Amino acid sequence: MPKLPNWENVVVPQRNRETGCIPTCFEWLIRYLKIQDIDLKTFQEDFDFGSNNSFLSVGEKIMSRYPFIKIKTQDYEKGFEKIIALKKLIENRTPCLISFAKGGNQGWHAMPVVYVNDQGIRMIEYANENENETSFLLIQDIIWRHDYLQGGKEIAWIETLSDES
């Protein structure tokens, strides 16, 4: 079972519950990877564009302010392709983010992926001040949401030196 080591030690509460999942996720990646020289005091507020948030828009803004960070995003036509990519990233101990449709006109949500097995994916849904609250979604559910609901087609990660080789 591919799992990120010590993911439980990084806790990043989402300050804006309405639209702040993407900036919170990127802050989680930065903290998990221990990237230095980032102002995290107002990070979520600085990179929250409200209803215009996407991995691409937020990622580009982060990279423009911090050019030493290289954020990669990838859209997938089919849900099973996204699952394969997530599994490969986690196997390589590369923390990543998933976007998926919630359904029922509830929009979509972004979360850090912490482990993948043959049945499903465990993700950090939210965090309080002391611990992460996780969700486990079945792979078939993620694929169905990806293939039949609107939005939630992408993943994102921060490229590291080992990713470039």
Tell me which of 103 and 4 has the higher pLDDT: 4
> Band of the pLDDT at 151, cuts 50, 70, 90?
confident
Taking CA atoms, 49 is separated from 26, 46, 117, 155, in Å, by 14, 8, 33, 18
pLDDT at 19: 86
Is residue 113 one of the residues assigned to a domain?
Answer: yes
Residue 1 lies in a domain: no
Residue at 103 is within a domain: yes
| Residue 2 counted as domain residue | no
pLDDT at residue 160, rounded to an integer: 67
Number of domains in the chain: 1
How large is the average pLDDT for residues 126-151?
A: 92
With cut-offs at 50, 70 and 90, classify the pLDDT of residue 162: very low
Structural domain contains residue 81: yes
Contact 74, 155 (CB under 8 A): yes
> CATH number for the domain including 26?
3.90.70.30
For residue 122, being part of any structural domain is answered with yes
The 3-state DSSP composition of the chain as helix, strand, coil percent (nearest 5) reads 35, 25, 40
Is 109 within the bounds of a domain?
yes
**pLDDT for res 101:** 83
Average pLDDT over residues 33-55: 94
Domain that holds residue 93: 7-164
